[in-house]
A and B are shown apart, each in its own frame.
Chain A
Amino acid sequence: MLKLTTLENISDEKLLTRYQKGDVRAFGVLLQRHHKGVLNFVYRFLGRPEAAEDIVQEAFLRLVANPDRFERRSKFTTWLYTIVRNLCIDYLRKQKHRNHLSLDQPLNPGSEREVAWMENLESNQAWPDKQTEDRRTGEILQAAIGRLNQEQREVFLMREEAAMTFEEIARVVEAPVNTVKSRMRYALQGLRSYLEDQGIEL
């Protein structure tokens, strides 16, 4: 227990170093620390739960297989989200070719896919109580996120789901910090405008 507490208090970068030396528990702490942020980022970015799970797994498996590729001068989250973002962009590119569903398409209520996904809800705070209004609002919000352009969407989600700073986001998307902030502003304005059009009171 003492050991675990110690591991949980050390930085991501040091945990990764420990994993490189063969300490799997250090990697376990990293996974626990970041999987939720990554999963929610990918889910909101793509709008598809089944793909989200696959991509998160793929991202962590890449990390597991190549921990040496981490460049010490950057932060662990920057590296992790660079991998995740690239996987998401690849996925969208492939889907574009396959002419799949649009990003803002909500889940089919009651579908097997949705039921499976609901099991992974962190708490019973919203959908499981079948609060129809909240659910509808959630779907409209997801649709609104899906309508943002990719640059605004990724900035908004990295900030909101991954709790990254604008400086970190700027490194991941390889853009100046002020540009990132502008994208964030446009993203919020776009969301607000779409939500109001759909009759959501703000």
Chain B
Amino acid sequence: MGAGMNCKQADQYIIDYLYDGLDGADKLAFEEHISSCPAHEKDVERMKSVLTLMRKQPKYKLSRDSERIILAQAEVHARRNPRLSRIVWNPAAAVALVAVLMLTVGIVVVRDFRPEKEELVFEPGKPLAVSATDEEARHMKPDTTPGLEKSSEPAETQRMEPRKKISRTRARKKRELPPREKKWTAKSKDADKLEQDRKSLFASAPPEKIAEREAPEVQITDVTGYSTQSGRPARAPAARQKRPETVEKSASGLSESKVAAEKTLYDPQATTGKFHMAKALFLKNDCEKAVTAIREVVAAAPDHPLAGQALLDQASCLVRLNRFEEAGSVYEHLIKDYPEHRQEAERGLRRIGR
């Protein structure tokens, strides 16, 4: 550029000057200009001040959780076949992939459309009918519950009308019946015989053995504290308090009696205190203890107003412990049963790449 730089040219060079991008001659010309042009001199000084101010601002770094999640995902992808992502670009492979996916989806859909073991068939204007399938249907006696009538149609026929079927719980709600104590009251002849055999056997057994045998059926839960029996989280919000007889057992060793005691001695104030204790553990970053404490207190009071937040904390702890699968289960549970935390849970799921 050389000597004699005017204001218009100086405007073009000002950024290069600020970032030291001008070579010797241009830099000299620019400096000459600003020494004789107060407006540009002031401009340069102020811009430098803005940059200085910007560079003085605190810098942030990624949280450890995020770093761990990213690195864990990197490891997962590195372990896979490195050529996997290229399959998408190969037309033949892409067609094969789509075919496999469709087949998988087809299988899942077919499995999902299979009716449950017992379902109520609801047809407007007709009494409710129970549909029992397969062997069980043949051994059942008619249910004596008023208003319930065993369907005489074969199970296969009823499968053809999935829209008219509603779940037992929903049907019960619709008809405002009290919650059932047992799953099925009818017994087969074989069952009666088995019961007699059992009584005669216990008559000769020591009392502790009998107590052992009479112990309620334990619903096994996974380490996150949610039932794995149905392959889904244990319960819907409305059903949370309606199963006093259900005893859960967690992998952390939470005893059945303890949970049962928690449920029967539900003291709102004490429970709130426990939630706060669990929160304190979470804030202290004592993740192992926080996970256990939250599991216990949420199992005892799933409807407590703090339960959802506690589960979010539990999921965070699990992420910090690199237990992503369990964290995923907790987030899914939150999405299903705690709609007020759905957004945060979905974000959590995204963070762990699910």
Contact residues in A for B78 (Cβ distance below 8 Å)? 19, 22-24, 27
Contact residues in B for A166 (Cβ distance below 8 Å)? 15, 19, 21
Binary CB contact string for chain B from 31 to 51 against chain A (1 if under 8 A, 0 otherwise):
000000000000101110111
Residue of A at shortest CB range from B89?
Answer: A68
Binary CB contact string for chain B from 63 to 81 against chain A (1 if under 8 A, 0 otherwise):
1001101110111011100
Closest chain-B Cβ to A88's Cβ sits at a distance in Å of 16
Q: Is B189 at the interface (CB under 8 A from chain A)?
A: no
Residue of B at shortest CB range from A122?
Answer: B59
Contact at B54–A126, with CB atoms within 8 Å?
Answer: no
Contact at A64–B50, with CB atoms within 8 Å?
Answer: no
| A195, B66: Cα distance in complex, Å | 34
Q: Is B61 at the interface (CB under 8 A from chain A)?
A: yes
Contact residues in B for A119 (Cβ distance below 8 Å)? 63
Within 8 A of A (CB), among B123-147: none
Binary CB contact string for chain A from 27 to 45 against chain B (1 if under 8 A, 0 otherwise):
1100100011001100100
| A92, B232: Cα distance in complex, Å | 35
Contact residues in B for A143 (Cβ distance below 8 Å)? none
Q: Is B82 at the interface (CB under 8 A from chain A)?
A: yes
Stretch at the interface among A55-63, A79-87, A100-108: A55-63
Residue of A at shortest CB range from B13?
Answer: A181
Given A53-B63, A125-B58, A22 contacting B74 (CB threshold 8 A): no
Given A22-B82, A185-B11, A64 contacting B73 (CB threshold 8 A): yes
Chain A interface size range = 35 or more
Contact at A68–B62, with CB atoms within 8 Å?
Answer: no
Instruction: In the A-B complex, list the 8 residue pairs whose CB atoms are closest, starting with the nearest.
Output: A202-B49, A126-B58, A35-B62, A181-B15, A188-B47, A27-B74, A60-B70, A122-B59
Of the residues B51, B53, B73, B85, contact of A68 by C-beta under 8 Å: B85
Of the residues B16, B47, B55, contact of A160 by C-beta under 8 Å: B55
| A166, B56: Cα distance in complex, Å | 22
Contact at A123–B53, with CB atoms within 8 Å?
Answer: no
Closest chain-A Cβ to B52's Cβ sits at a distance in Å of 9
Contact at B58–A65, with CB atoms within 8 Å?
Answer: no
Stretch at the interface among B112-120, B218-226, B270-278, B345-353: B345-353
Residue of B at shortest CB range from A116?
Answer: B63
Given A181-B15, A191-B50, A65 contacting B77 (CB threshold 8 A): yes
Residue of B at shortest CB range from A134?
Answer: B56
Closest chain-A Cβ to B255's Cβ sits at a distance in Å of 35
Q: Is A141 at the interface (CB under 8 A from chain B)?
A: yes
Contact at B62–A202, with CB atoms within 8 Å?
Answer: no
Contact at A35–B61, with CB atoms within 8 Å?
Answer: yes
Closest chain-B Cβ to A133's Cβ sits at a distance in Å of 12
Contact at B60–A39, with CB atoms within 8 Å?
Answer: yes
Of the residues B12, B16, B69, contact of A57 by C-beta under 8 Å: B69
Q: Is B291 at the interface (CB under 8 A from chain A)?
A: no
Within 8 A of B (CB), among A67-119: 67-69, 117, 119
Contact residues in A for B53 (Cβ distance below 8 Å)? 137, 141, 195, 200, 202
Contact at A53–B62, with CB atoms within 8 Å?
Answer: yes
Of the residues A39, A64, A195, A200, contact of B74 by C-beta under 8 Å: A64
Q: Is B14 at the interface (CB under 8 A from chain A)?
A: yes
Of the residues B43, B60, B70, contact of A117 by C-beta under 8 Å: B60
| A184, B347: Cα distance in complex, Å | 34
Residue of B at shortest CB range from A57?
Answer: B66
Q: Is B200 at the interface (CB under 8 A from chain A)?
A: no
Contact at B60–A121, with CB atoms within 8 Å?
Answer: yes
Contact residues in B for A127 (Cβ distance below 8 Å)? 58
Given A40-B59, A61-B73, A185-B11, A56 contacting B47 (CB threshold 8 A): no
Contact at B14–A39, with CB atoms within 8 Å?
Answer: no
Of the residues A35, A121, A189, contact of B58 by C-beta under 8 Å: A121
Contact at B16–A181, with CB atoms within 8 Å?
Answer: yes
Q: List 23 A-B contacts (CB under 8 A).
A: A21-B82, A27-B71, A35-B61, A36-B61, A39-B62, A53-B63, A54-B350, A64-B70, A64-B73, A65-B77, A65-B85, A68-B85, A121-B60, A126-B56, A126-B57, A127-B58, A137-B53, A141-B53, A159-B19, A166-B15, A178-B12, A181-B12, A202-B50
Contact residues in B for A69 (Cβ distance below 8 Å)? 85
Q: Is B174 at the interface (CB under 8 A from chain A)?
A: no
Of the residues B11, B67, B75, contact of A31 by C-beta under 8 Å: B67
| A187, B224: Cα distance in complex, Å | 51
Q: Is A5 at the interface (CB under 8 A from chain B)?
A: no
